[in-house]
Each structure stands twice: as C-alpha cells, then as structure tokens.
Structure 1
Amino acid sequence: MQQVQAVVARSKDAPVELVTITVPDPGPGEAVVRVQACGVCHTDLHYVQGGIGDDYPYLLGHEASGIVEAVGEGVSEVAPGDFVILNWRAVCGECRACRRGRPWYCFNTHNATQRMTLEDGTELTPALGIGAFAEKTLVAAGQCTKVDPAARPAAAGLLGCGVMAGIGAALNTGNVGRGDSVAVIGCGGVGMAAVVGADLAGAARIIAVDVDPRKLDRARELGATDAVNAREADPVEAIRALTGGFGADVVIDAVGRPEIWRQAFYARDLAGTVVLVGVPTPEMELTVPLLDVFGRGGSLKSSWYGDCLPSRDFPMLIDLYTRGRLPLDAFVSEEIGIGEIDDAFAKMHRGEVLRSVVVMAGSRA
C-alpha cells in the first residue's frame, strides 16, 4: 500500500479538504492508476451537497486519465505503463444485457473490491467508484480503457464522464443520422458535447438553446448552425420555425428539469426522438397528456453515460481527437492544481467554464 494526496468531502456542504489517503496494492481484478488529469464535474459537487447519498467521507473526482502503475492477479486487459481513461461502467459480461449483446446496458457494473482509506483507517467512498482527485487511485481493471498515449491527458480524461455523455446522447441514444435536424437544450459541458456529437454524425441543422449568450456563441464555434436564447424567444416555437414548422428530428434535453423536457417533447417532429441526458433530482415529477405521447409517436429515451461502451467508444473518439476531428481541447477551460477545486466549483456554478481540469504535478502539457 502507499499514501498519496487526495481531495475528500467529509460531510454535507463542508469545504473539500486535501488530505493524505492510503491506497491498497491491487487485488485480483484491480489496478492502481497514477492519475494525470481529472475534470471537475457537476456530479462531484452533487456529492459534496449530499445530492447523491450520505456515505461520507467521499473521495471526489471521476473524469480522469492516467497511467496504470500496477495490476492485480488475473488482469489481462491492461498492463503497467498503459495510458488509460477511467470509466464508471466496468461491464460484467454475464448479466442479461451483456448476454444479449448489449453490454452498454450492463446491469451489474462493478468497482474495486478493496477500499481506499483515510490515515486513521476510515473507509472512503470513491465518486462513481473511481475517486480520481488523487495522485493515485484504486479501481477495477475493467474501469481502465487503454487509449493512444499521444492524447493530451487533460482532454482525454473528459471522455470519462460529461463529454462522453453528451456525444453519446447524440450518436448512441439519439441515433442522429446524416441530414437530420437536432436541437440541444442546455449548453453546459454535456450539452456542448451533444452539439459536437450531432456534428460528427453529419446533422444538417444543429440548434443550440440556452439562456447564456456566451454559451450560445461557444456552441456555434463547436458546430451549431443556429442559436436560440431562451430568455428572448420561446424555444419550442423557435425550433419549429428553424425546421420548416415541423420540429427537430432529435431533441436532446441536457438540463434535466420537467419544464425543459416538455419543451423538448413539443419541439420534436412527429415520430421524432427526445433524449434526456440532463440529470433530474429525486423530487422532480413529469406530467404530459398521454394522448400527446400516443399521437406524436416516435421515441422518448433516457441516456445514461451516453449509452457508451468504453472499450468501443473511447479508443474511437481518441482516434478522432488525435486526427483533429474531435475538438476535445475546446472543453478544457483551464488547468488547475489539486488544491483549487472549491474555486473550480464556484466557476462552474457561475457558468464561467466548460471544464476546469485538475492536472497533477509533472503532468502538465
């Protein structure tokens, strides 16, 4: 075992702390990864605020890339020295979804068996089973996806959560095709990635919707053909006007609120698709006339992690990135040190950044 610096949340709404933790040697099926970079995701703030659970103390961070340092018995998919992106969908290969050839729906994903601890032995709960605001972390080997080491760590790690969620919402869940019209409501990190995903898929019209003009300008830079400021125009009417009065083929809700989902529902064309990728909170409820659901046809989908299969999607997207076809660098608003996470949370809350990325000492580009 070894001791490293890491960021933890000890209790609800308390400031995060930089402390020393103990990382066990990897056991069977496990790997220790030297973290190079980790994005500051809104999910980490949800852990701090108690929005996910109360299993404190939490070891924060999950959008990460790094180098495999050691592996346990039986590990064959990665080896020491491999550059990897961490994921929170280590598929089991045995559940009913995996047996049906749909491992991206795996119902039995797994994490490391051993727990990392504080110096006094208190067990830590790693965010999304990863815990990567740390110099090193212990994960299940299946949570490591080997990719091209030529990729910039700060950019590559973002595929570990938000960017993959958005790209996958368009490519995998929404099945956006060449010539389609797509509307993305909410242009934070996930929504912006959905814009990029729609562009990769060859959508003819990509409509970005937000209340922040800065985000709309950024969405245009990343592939949106049109921008709608929801403070100035009704999004449903604006999307219909931009699509010949019909509505978009695919509408992606990257906010996760009932009123936004209803906008997405009524802004789609007949037989169109609504994709919910924004994460709602437990108390939220939705009421829609059932006749409208029946009469409009089409598909109403949820996108969990962009319905991705890391072993399939991460290498492909990194290949596009290294060939200049996927603008991952555009999502890195700033590189920060491990002691600057509270400030990054504040910038994220104010909408000033797509992603602040913690880059460990010695790993800066």
Structure 2
Amino acid sequence: MAQQVRGVIAPGKGQPVRIETITIPDPGPGEAVVKVQACGVCHTDLHYREGGINDDFPFLLGHEAAGIVESVGEGVTEVAPGDFVVLNWRAVCGQCRACRRGRPWYCFNTHNAKQKMTLADGTELSPALGIGAFADKTLVAAGQCTKVDPAAKPEVAGLLGCGVMAGLGAAINTGNVGRGDSVAVIGCGGVGAAAVLGSRLAGAARIIAVDLDDRKLATARELGATHTVNAKDGDVVTAVQELTGGFGADVVIDAVGIPDTYKQAFYARDLAGTVVLVGVPTPEMKLELPLLDVFGRGGALKSSWYGDCLPSRDFPMLIDLYLQGRLDLGAFVTETIPLDGVEAAFEKMHHGDVLRSVVVL
C-alpha cells in the first residue's frame, strides 16, 4: 500500500526548497523502500536546485544517505527488510560491456527504481541522482542499497553515498596513490578533504592540500595533509614543485573542476605523473592545453566517476576501517540538522562554513 511521507522538494530553478507530502509506492520488482535515517547535504543537491543538472523539476533532493530497508519487491535477493544500508547512485547492471569485462565500477547501464514517487496531487518527482533521500522514506532500485555493519552511525555511513567516497576513491582507486607517493589535492571541500584522507590511508609520504580558505586547509591538516598552500599567496604550480624537490607531485587531484584548477593540476604533476579530475565541471567550460605538453609530460589524465568505486566492495570495507578507528569519517560531519534545515545548510555551504551538514531523521 502506498505511503505518504515528508520530503524536501526543489519546485523550480533557483527557488527555495520546501517540505511537501510525497507518495511512496510499494516496491515493484527489483525495488526497495528504505526508511532514511540520515542524509548529507551535498553540493550536487544545490546544483539540482539551481538547474545545473537538468530542468526536470520538481526534484526530490538528497542522495548521500543511510537507512533501514523497510520492504523489497519481487526478485530482490541482495538485501532484506531490516538491513542497514548505504544508498548509492550507481547500481551496476552486471550485463553491460564494462561489467562483462570485469570492470563493474565503470558500469554503463546503472539503473534506478522504475516507479515514480509523486506529490500528493500526482505530480511525478525527479529524485536527485535517482535516490531522493531528504525524506522519511524513499524508493530505490535494490541495487542502490549496499548492506554495511549496523554498528556505524547513520550520519557517518551515509557520507559514503557520494562526496566522501568520490574523494577517497579519486585517490585510492583512480589515482592509484601508493606508499611513498607525493600527492597534491586542489580544492579541500568535502571531496578534496576525503582525497587527502584517502591519500593518507594509501600511505602517501607527502600530501599537499591547496585551497583559498585557511579553515579548509586546517581541516585538511587534521585529516592527514603534510603541507598546505593557500592559492591566494602565490603560484600554485610553483608552490607544489618547491614542496616536491622541484619536480611536482606524483598524483594531483583536482577536486574543484574548473579550467584554471585543471591547468594547475596538469603542470603541478611530475613527469609521467597522474592528474585526476573529480570536481564536476559545468557544461559551458572549455579546456585548452598545448598538445605538445600533453605528449611531452607523459603520464595519465584521468576522470574519476564516483571515485571509480564498486559499492558492494568499497562501502563495507570503508565502514570496517571506520569502526576500527582507522578512518575518521566523523570528521566530515560539521553539524546535524532537521529536515527543514536544508535551505539554511545550502547557505552555509555557499559561504564555506561547513564540511558537511547532515539531515538526521
């Protein structure tokens, strides 16, 4: 039987979000209804509100979430009612050319729930990243649910659903940061800070955090950065080279995603080094680089999709590290807020006042 719950809706481009009553259908084949316990306020949600993703308003926002499976549809075997899960926005299909080649983290046919959640008047909602978790409950594809140890706090576990996993994975999975490497991370918001933490976890010897905000640089230090560079104080490329014996870093991670920071990342890496783009550009951005420099510097230029993660592999492992005290995911939670605090959280995000605001239900 369909249920009516509260949800945070973005009604139109640039309009303030509001709480509405939404209808959650019973799960169909391959679907699950999840009772949301916590959901982080991610910059992607703000992009949705501002029309930066698409114009399929109204949106049901929220995607960085953890909760309890309430019910499942026909054919679901990977999770069961009562399971504590982290939601992910890339449910792998197992059948596409990437999955068949043994690279499911590149799945080209990820899927969401087929049924639509609606407003009380029947208006169909577009759930953010196929999740829509600023709500008491949400409907997702069962493959978007990853079972993890229920000893983890929901407000911490949910962060793996997007930003923290993107940053950790950019360092560990995409950048292949190894023991003794030097790493520079440009942009130390939630994703960049997680890239710093991931680099430390991978055993990097030198981790250089770059940002314009001294508060974010201080947090990066706490998470494992060995050096910090305020980009307002001089040339970033020169600063990174000076901190790496004049050569540049083995891996440079651009967690901002604009042409200027990408060029900094490109020239701040050592010869044969790796650039990882994990910051998300906007459609109008263009990049121009001398092709001879691309050829002559060698190495790899990579883009990181969701930290190239495989949720079924990575989420349980990272939660285990958190529970062992080896991965400080709690450092990312600046504040916990109620469901009606999302609009204020967007404002704090805009001013750089928080690493993560987390809605707790």
- The TM-score, its normalising length taken from structure 1, stands at 0.98
2:340 and 2:295 map into 1 onto residues whose CA distance is 52
The letter of the residue matching 1:93 is: G
Other-structure match for 2:197: 196
Q: Distance in 2 between matches of 1:213 and 1:330?
A: 17
Q: What does 1:302-341 correspond to in 2, within 5 Å?
A: 302-341=303-342
Q: Which position in structure 1 is the counterpart of 2:265?
A: 264
Partner of 1:31: 32
Q: Deviations over 1:216-245 (max 9, x none)?
A: 111001000000011002110000000000
> Which amino acid letter does the alignment assign opposite residue 10 of structure 2?
A
Q: Which residue of 2 aligns with 1:254?
A: 255
> Are 2:159 and 1:127 equivalent residues in the alignment?
no
Equivalent residue, structure 1, for 2:145: 144
Question: In structure 1, what is the Cα distance between the partners aligned to 2:200 and 2:45?
Answer: 28
- Which residue does 2:107 correspond to in 1? 106
* Structure 2, unaligned runs of 5 or more: none
- Equivalent residue number for residue 70 of structure 1: 71
* Equivalent AA in structure 2 for residue 79 of structure 1: A
Q: Which residue of 1 aligns with 2:184?
A: 183
Residue 118 of structure 2 is matched in structure 1 by: 117
User: 2: CA distance between counterparts of 1:329 and 1:122?
Assistant: 37
Aligned-partner residue type, residue 319 of structure 1:
D
Partner of 1:49: 50
* Letter in structure 1 aligned against 2:33: V
Three-state SS of the structure 1 residue aligned to 2:315 is helix
Which structure 2 residues correspond to residues 203-282 of structure 1 after superposition, within 5 A? Answer: 203-282=204-283
CA distance in 2, matches of 1:90, 1:217: 35
Q: How many residues align?
A: 360
Runs of 4+ in 1 over 6 A off after TM superposition: none
Q: Following the alignment from structure 1 to structure 2, what is the Cα–Cα distance between the partners of residues 65 and 27? A: 21
The aligned counterpart of 1:160 is 161
**1:315-364 deviation per Cα after TM superposition (whole angstroms, max 9, x unaligned):** 0000000000111000000000000110000000000000000000xxxx
Alpha-carbon distance in 2 for matches of 1:9, 1:100: 39
1:207 partner SS: strand
Q: Per the alignment, in what secondary structure is the counterpart of residue 21 of structure 1?
A: strand
- Aligned residue number for residue 350 of structure 1: 351
What are the superposed Cα offsets for residues 34-58 of structure 1, whole Å, 9 maximum, x if unpaired? 0000000000000000000000110
Secondary structure of the structure 1 residue equivalent to 2:340: coil
Alpha-carbon separation, structure 1, partners of 2:216 and 2:116: 39
SS in 2 for 1:339: helix
1:8 counterpart residue number:
9
Between the aligned partners of 2:14 and 2:263, the Cα distance in structure 1 is 31
Q: Following the alignment from structure 2 to structure 1, what is the Cα–Cα distance between the partners of residues 340 and 218?
A: 31
Partner of 1:363: none
Separation in structure 1 between the aligned mates of residue 205 and residue 29 of structure 2, nearest angstrom: 49
Give the AA of the match of 1:32.
V
Cα distance in 1 for residues equivalent to 2:344 and 2:232: 28
Q: What CA distance in whole angstroms lies between the structure 1 residues aligned with 2:118 and 2:316? A: 32
Q: Secondary structure at the match of 1:278?
A: coil
- The residue type equivalent to 1:9 in the other structure is A
Give 2:258's aligned amino acid. R
Trace 1:281-292 onto structure 2 (pairs within 5 A). Answer: 281-292=282-293
Identity %: 79
**SS of the residue 1:231 aligns to:** helix
Post-superposition shift, 1:182?
0.1
User: Aligned partner of 2:224: which letter?
Assistant: G
Residue aligned with 1:34, SS: strand
| Alpha-carbon distance in 1 for matches of 2:284, 2:142 | 35
| Letter paired with 1:76 | T
Which residue is 1:96 aligned to?
97
1:94 is matched by which residue type in structure 2? Q
Q: What stretches of structure 1 of length at least 5 have no aligned partner?
A: 361-365
For 1:24 and 1:63, the matched residues in 2 are separated by 21
Determine helix, strand or coil for the equivalent of 1:340.
Answer: helix
- Say if 2:87 is the partner of 1:86: yes
SS, match of residue 232 in structure 2: coil
